[in-house]
Amino acid sequence: METAELLQYVLAGLKSGSIYALVALGFTVVYSSTGIINFAQGEFFMLGGMLSVFFHGAGMPLPLAGLAGVLATAGVAIAFERVALRPRRDAGPLVLVIITIGASMVIKALARHAFGPDELGLPEFTPGPSLSIAGAAVERQSLWLWGLTLVAVLSLTWLYRKTKLGRAMRACSISHDASRLMGIDTASVVMVSFGIAAALGALGGLAVTPLTQTAWDVGGTAGLKGFAAAILGGLGNPVASVVGGLALGLLESLSVAFISSTYKDAISLGVLLLVLFVRPQGLMGLVRREKV
């Protein structure tokens, strides 16, 4: 195989991978502050694209429509946390996870009725022919995807390390009770983390719509891939989510190149299981020891 061709497979993998990474980051943010998996994360990805299309169709210029779409999705997530999750927050993680599954169905059905059954699209952020790197083609939209992923992971890392809110979020992940005793408003922290998670998913949905179009039913696959990426990298760490996403994308692309496109999902999810057998905490996850 020529180098240019191999590079093309790698670039294709990194492109899908960065989409998975943005969804995975959302899983990580919610997990960090609540300890639960939010199965409505894929629907935030869908809403980001659909709402941006809606605002764009209503006459807003693309950057403004995108921003409105992302913010509106965050609003939906905050409302969802406030109305559906908070009243049951003492019911235990299993109940909360099931509520998120229910919410994903409701959001999906509402989107189907509000936006119709057909796929919708957006123009590319910066239209034009693809660029060439050492003989391999790179879409301009891919550069946007990579850029947004990079900005997202850097800001999250900064948020967690350097800000009071970030430290409060990390404290919540260890113990809600202890955090509350230390004077942290845990309810607000959880609400904000849902907003951030939804905005990240929505950003992915927005950035991918010019490439793939979007529809009311895209959330399921996006959620599944993003979840796999988050688990592969290791839940709870933004950098790990991005590594997980990119690794999953590369695995899929290289499966197509060297084995068969028919089995690409089976192969990549098989590798995911294998990794979890050897390292249950994911590629970069830390083992959290219970201290007695």
Partner 1 sequence: MAGALAAIVVSTAPVAGCAVSGEAEEGSAQPYRIGVVLSLTGTYAGLGGPEKRAIELEVKRINGAGGIGGRPIEVVFEDDGTDAAKAQAATVRLIDEEQVIAVIGASGTGQTMAMRTDLERAGIPQISMAGGSIITDRLSEWAFQTPWPNRIVIPFVLRMMAEDGHTKVGLISDTGGYGVDGRDYVLRSAAAAGVEIVADETFNPGDTDMTSQLTKIRSAEPDAMLLWAAGKEAATIVKNARQLNMSQQVYGGSGIARREFIEGSGEAAEGVMIGTGKILVAESYGEGTAEHEVAASFIERYTEAYGSAPDIFAGHAYDAFGLIVDALSRVEGDADGQTLREALEQTEGWIGVGGTFTYSATDHNGLTEDDLVLYVIEDGTWRLVD
The residues binding partner 1 (CB under 8 A) are 1, 5, 8-9, 11-13, 15-16, 19, 112, 117-119, 121, 129-130, 137, 139, 208, 211-213, 215, 217-218, 220-222, 252-253, 256-257, 261-262, 264-265
Please, which residue, 63 or 128, has the CB nearer to partner 1? 128
Q: Which two tokens stand for residue 25?
A: 């980051």
Report in angstroms how near the CB of residue 276 gets to partner 1 at its nearest: 22
Nearer to partner 1, 142 or 186 (CB): 142
Sign of the C-alpha dihedral, residues 36, 227, 160, 156?
negative
Q: How far is the CB of 63 from partner 1 (least distance, A)?
A: 20
Whose structure tokens read 């809110």? 165
Q: Which residues pair with 136 in a beta bridge?
A: 133
135: phi then psi, degrees, rounded to nearest 5: 90, -5
Start-to-end C-alpha separation, the chain: 55
Q: Give the nearer residue to partner 1 in terms of CB position, either 126 or 261.
A: 261
Question: Minimum distance between the CB of residue 139 and partner 1, rounded to whole angstroms?
Answer: 5
d(CA 226, CA 229): 5
CB-based contacts of 219, cutoff 8 Å, min separation 6: 42, 43, 44, 45, 46, 47, 104, 107, 108
CA dihedral 155, 157, 163, 168 (to 10 degrees): 120
Asked if residue 14 lies in contact with residue 249, where contact means CB atoms within 8 angstroms, the answer is yes
- CA–CA separation, 38 vs 12, rounded Å? 28
Minimum CB distance to partner 1, residue 108 (Å): 11
We find the least distance from the C-beta atom of residue 134 to partner 1, in angstroms, to be: 14
Which 3 state secondary structure label does DSSP give 136?
A: strand
Closest CA to 173 of 191, 186, 188, 155: 186
Q: Give the bridge partners for 120, in sequence order.
A: 214
Q: Which lies closer to partner 1 via its Cβ, residue 4 or residue 151?
A: 4
Query: Would you say 51 or 168 has its CB closer to partner 1?
Result: 51
Task: State the number of CA atoms in the 13 A half-sphere of 187 facing the CB.
Answer: 9
Query: Nearest approach, Cβ of 33 to partner 1 (angstroms)?
Result: 28
Q: Which is nearer to partner 1, 160 or 216 (CB)?
A: 216
Looking at the Cβ atoms of 81 and 139, the one nearer to partner 1 is: 139
Taking the complex as a whole, how short is the minimal distance between the CB of residue 261 and partner 1, in angstroms?
A: 5
- Rank residues 126 and 262 by Cβ distance to partner 1 and give the closer one: 262
CA distance 105 to 39: 10
* Smallest distance from partner 1 to CB 198, Å: 19
